[in-house]
Amino acid sequence: MYIHSVKLINYKSIGDYPESEIILEPGITVIIGKNESGKSNVIDGLSKINFLTINEDAFSRNAVNRNIATGSENRFIIIIKSDDRESTLGINVDTTIEITKNKCIVTGGLFEYYLQTIWPEFEEFVKLLNSISENPMQLNASDYSYYKSYKQELINRDNVDLYYKKKAINYFKNKITIFPKGNQDIIKAKLENLITLWDKYTSMFPTFFYRKSDKHLKTTYNIEDIKKELNPNVTTHSLLSELVQLIDISEDDFIFAATTGISSVQESLRSKIVRQIRKKINYPFNDFYGTEYIDLEISFNSGSISFKVQSEDGEALMLSERSDGLKWYLETFIDAQAHDIKGKNVVYLFDEPGTSLHINAQKELLTLFQDLSDKGNQIVYTTHYPHMLDLKNNGIHRIRAIVKNNEGFSNIYKTAYDSRIASESQQDTLAPIINAIGMSLNDTFGPAKDKLNIVVE
């Protein structure tokens, strides 16, 4: 499955109109626009989409466009299309998902698939509950109303509310021990089967992951650096903290292992950290990377730690000595894994990536984006650098332009040469493309509404 489009209705600087929709490419989509146009709001809005868990931050007061009527709310409408894998499962119709403050409603292809493959199992589970008794847990009137509501949700055939369905499943999971003892085993077995089917079903939905550009793994950390990095009140975006989280080591144990000393407890912790990095990072990273086999190694050096990268056929080099491309891939992987982003079907979001890179490194970053896309993921990023645009192989069709009008509303245009982009906005908005193709900023870009347009081939 891949995301075809998202309507960011009333999200921040975006309103409720056709231009609230961004069309995404199956591979890479680039967003351009001058400063304060709202392109970062688009990335931020996409990052708030979660199909499985309510994201209260997505509907906070700060998330709603301040220019709309009081009391209005924002919402997201997502269109998902099937790829070859889903087509073999009989999912040939687009899926529409509408996310509001408390609901995530699925209709279309994935809903029809749900009715055919999973709904019958929910129906059997409800029949089992009804066969025991009308009120098998002997609940009071208030609790019984919740029981009936969750039971009804399991057999709802009108649509799938992913949030409420998950809540209903968790309700019965947490109530197993309250059912009559003679029925608990069969209820548990049925429910475990349902949860397996449900998890498999929800894994078909793409995941959005916003990779913050300020998260980096340094080559060396002294003990004071480590304490700061692992303190969320001091450092809010720490990749070292995410690495420690990923390898299932407590912050206190990691700090103790890095502290000067050779006690048996410290040595044991250091060995455990090395093993966990190999298990939790190196093995899965090499499946993710695929270019060469590498190992991330950690050394403990009298009150400091350092990271090296060992390649399969080469010597171990300090992390800072490895290519920007490898470091970018490794950091992105650690960040994604720490946020439980696994496998394919991920929409990676980047806001102004490569700003600190030189031109050749920016071009390498484009290659890395393409490689990540080729692994079955989607990439969406913003830029104002011409070298961050790949205009080869019809690359211009990947570009979306964001323009803010005089009323403060951001409009998303499917093409960078949309005739609705005012001439006074063209130069700033389209500067990356114009520079990339060697045009002058004095040239008119795209069809002009008040002039004769001649198309030549």
In a domain, 115, yes or no: no
Q: Identify the weakest region by mean pLDDT among 22-36, 263-277, 314-328.
A: 314-328
Q: Are residues 349 and 438 in the same domain?
A: yes
The reported pLDDT for the residue numbered 260 is: 93
Domain boundary among 202, 232, 251: 202
Give CA 242 to chain center in angstroms: 16
Q: Could you list the residue range(s) of the whole structural domain that residue 190 is in?
A: 120-202
In a domain, 87, yes or no: no
Number of domain units in the chain: 3
Highest-confidence segment of 18-27, 68-77, 422-431? 18-27
The reported pLDDT for the residue numbered 313 is: 76
Single-letter code of the amino acid located at 121: E
Q: Identify the weakest region by mean pLDDT among 180-194, 314-328, 423-437.
A: 423-437
Q: Are residues 365 and 452 in the same domain?
A: yes
Q: What is the pLDDT of residues 272-294, one digit of tens each?
A: 999 999 999 999 888 877 778 88
SS3 324: helix
Q: Are residues 231 and 305 in the same domain?
A: yes
**Long-range contacts of 52-57, Cβ-Cβ distance < 8 Å, separation of 24 or more:** 52/104, 52/162, 52/163, 52/166, 52/202, 52/205, 53/163, 54/101, 54/102, 54/104, 54/163
Q: What is the pLDDT of residues 380-420, one digit of tens each?
A: 999 887 878 877 766 788 889 999 988 889 999 987 766 66
* Mean pLDDT along residues 221-238: 90
Instruction: Report the DSSP beta bridge partners of residue 402.
Output: 412
pTM to 2 decimal places: 0.84
Q: What is the pLDDT of residues 82-108, one digit of tens each?
A: 887 777 888 889 999 999 999 999 999
Q: Are residues 224 and 326 in the same domain?
A: yes
The reported pLDDT for the residue numbered 417 is: 67
Q: Are residues 406 and 445 in the same domain?
A: yes
Helix orientation angle between 239-246 and 324-338, rounded to the nearest 10 degrees:
60
Domain boundary among 159, 177, 202: 202
CATH assignment at residue 41: 3.40.50
* Mean pLDDT along residues 347-352: 92
Within 8 A by CB and 6+ apart from 163, the residues are 52, 53, 54, 102, 103, 104
Who has greater pLDDT, 450 or 274?
A: 274
- Which residue has 């998330």 as its token pair? 63
- Largest Cα–Cα distance of the chain, in whole Å? 83
* Pairing relationship of beta strands 207-210 and 346-351 according to DSSP bridges: parallel
Q: What is the pLDDT of residues 152-169, one digit of tens each?
A: 999 999 889 999 999 999
Q: What is the pLDDT of residues 46-83, one digit of tens each?
A: 999 999 999 999 999 999 998 887 778 999 999 999 88
In a domain, 92, yes or no: no
Domain boundary among 186, 202, 218: 202
Backbone φ and ψ for 210, nearest 5 degrees, come out as -95, 110
> Which DSSP category does 63 fall into?
G
SS (H, E, C) 215-254: CCCCCEEEHHHHHHHCCCCCCCCCHHHHHHHHCCCCHHHH
* Mean pLDDT along residues 349-366: 82
Are 77 and 98 spatial neighbours (Cβ–Cβ below 8 Å)?
Answer: yes
Q: Are residues 319 and 384 in the same domain?
A: no
